[in-house]
A and B are shown apart, each in its own frame.
Chain A
Amino acid sequence: MFRQQRRLLLAVLTSLAVLSANLCAGESQASGSEVRVVEQADGTYTLLRNGEPYQVKGAGYGGHARPGNALALLAESGGNSIRTWGIEQVEDVVEGKNLLDRAHELGITVSVGFWVQHARHGFDYGDAASIDRQRKLLRATVLKYKDHPALLTWGLGNEMEHVFKGKSETDVRIWKELNHLAGIIKELDPHHPVMTVTAGYSPSKIEAIHGHYPHLDILGVNNYGGAGSVGQGLPEAGWNGPYMLTEYGVAGAWEVSTTSWGAPIEPDPSTKAAASYSAYKMDSEMNVGRNLGSYVFVWGNKQEATFSWFGMFLPTGEKLPRVDAMAYAWTGEWPKNRAPKLRSLKTPVAMKKVGPGASTYAEVDVLDREGDDLRYYWDIRAESSDRKHGGDREAAPPSFPDAIKKGQGTARIEFKTPEKPGAYRVFVTAYDGEGGAAVHNLPFYVGK
């Protein structure tokens, strides 16, 4: 879902020249890990990493903010792999080290994402020079990282089949180019499978893959509201090969009920935690032999519809209940100190249209299972006016701290609705002081 920063293109192309002096293209080295997908006699599939079966219990390592110990927390929670979207992420310094090095130290593998450019962002799949630049960048990327022991798969593209609204989702040039790019990877690195990630799945996408993309090893599928049934639906759409669920966790803002003014109603934290747990369990238990693993979305924080919708952490780094739910899903055990449980959030203006400057209140009921002292923070924010498609980066909407008149820091506030007509949300975050939090919001509208 994350757009690659183009500024890195020049840097990586420069490094290509250096690398090419040291490495011979096409030469295979065995110093890193060896990963392959094996088809069994009964038609099922296994991912083998250094000769051992390997089931991915992973998380998308994305977003624009993460706590300093996020990777270590993933390992503690029973996760064994992360997925990235663009190569710039691999250069991140994490917990004092390069991402790949730190991941390897923790026993975490990485599906290294290479951002295949999107036509909807203006990339022209009919322009030879652009295509050539992308190929060179991929070649440099593979040569640079192919021998790192943390590398699990090459994540070649993410939802790149999305084109402009109204146009076909099966522009064959994209699928043919993916096949060419996968061929480059296989030429340079025969030791790691190629996975390409699509937005959901459909018979037309599968048909396009069968017709134009024979080099694909693993199909990655991003799916939110229907994540638990992806494995059952893929054969109906024509895909009987190995797959991974590459983004899942909560119903998307485009899939839920809305207010009368069109604001999506965000599920509460417990519902989101249960949905993440259920999707993982359904997908992993019902599709043994085809499902090679999954990556929950997203091990970080991300503004998309709201700042709390998809992120499993607050922008300030506290874990949210979905982190604990995944620990429970991956290990069968709850963490020792869990994020608080938000039992209810109420305000008389929820889902309603109200006048400007109206006095009202909001209250929250939160349980901390360990008895930690809870601290509350309330925030009145405008509805996002920067909604994008395909997970593209969105700006955070403005906050109105002056609207809160009494009770900030406690479980009940009195506030005034803003004077300016428009859509708003009242947010509350409960912090347990032990690195855990719960956050929720309710929408309201000022005006008629």
Chain B
Amino acid sequence: MCEKKAREMQASLKAKAPKDKVHDYWALNDVGTSYFIRGEALAKLGRKAEAIAAYKVVRDDLYFAQTWDPKGWFWSPADAAHPKIDALSGDF
């Protein structure tokens, strides 16, 4: 439902939004995070190809998304998706 808006927000950025503007990109953050969670869930179910596809959306398309860690900082689901894809697609 929000993916179109998320992609618009992604297209409007040239770098990750600074801390004080992160929440302006709510759709991008929420949809990017959701794809990452989807990848996690699919990977745990052993559905490798679908998990990789989910991770790739955030890595390749929504790479300025940011996710709040309750410990006190934002992290990048796109950066976190890199090793997940490597782990699932590579022979590690």
Contacts and interface: CB of A to CB of B under 8 A. Distances in A.
A212 to B, nearest CB: 25
Nearest to A269: B92
A278 B8 CA distance: 28
A279 interface: yes
Given A270-B87, A271-B87, A277-B86, A228 B79 contact: yes
Contact of B79 (A229, A325, A341): A229
Chain A contact residues: helix, strand, loop or mixed: helix
B3 to A, nearest CB: 24
Interface string B1-13: 0000000000000
B76 interface: yes
A353 B33 CA distance: 31
A282 B87 contact: no
Interface of B: 16, 18, 75-76, 79, 82-84, 86-87, 90-92
A274 B87 contact: yes
Interface string A317-335: 0000100010000000010
Contacts, number: 42
5 contacts: A236-B16, A271-B87, A274-B87, A275-B87, A278-B82
A277 B92 contact: yes
Contacts of B18: 236
Interface residues of A, number: 20
A258 to B, nearest CB: 12
A273 B75 CA distance: 21
B64 to A, nearest CB: 11
A277 B90 contact: yes
Contacts of A232: 16
Contacts of B75: 225-226
Given A271-B92, A275-B83, 13 more contacts: A225-B75, A226-B75, A226-B76, A228-B82, A229-B76, A232-B16, A270-B92, A274-B83, A274-B92, A277-B86, A282-B79, A321-B92, A341-B92
Contacts of A271: 83, 87, 92
Interface in A276-311: 277-279, 281-282
A42 B11 CA distance: 28
A334 B91 contact: yes
B83 A325 contact: no
B79 A226 contact: yes
Given A321-B92, A325-B92, A274 B79 contact: no
Nearest to B87: A274
Q: Which of B16, B79, B84, B92 has the most CB of A within 10 A?
A: B92
Contacts of B84: 274
Nearest to A338: B91
A278 B90 CA distance: 11
Q: Which of A274, A275, A277, A281 has the most CB of B within 10 A?
A: A274
Nearest to A334: B91
Contacts of A334: 91
A277 B83 contact: yes
A146 to B, nearest CB: 39
Interface string A222-254: 000110110010001000000000000000000
A20 B75 CA distance: 51
Contacts of B91: 334
B20 to A, nearest CB: 13
A228 B70 CA distance: 21
Interface in A311-361: 321, 325, 334, 341
Contacts of A279: 83
B53 to A, nearest CB: 17
A236 B76 CA distance: 14
A195 B92 CA distance: 33
Nearest to B78: A229
Contacts of B76: 226, 229
B91 to A, nearest CB: 7
B82 A282 contact: yes
B87 to A, nearest CB: 3
B45 to A, nearest CB: 14
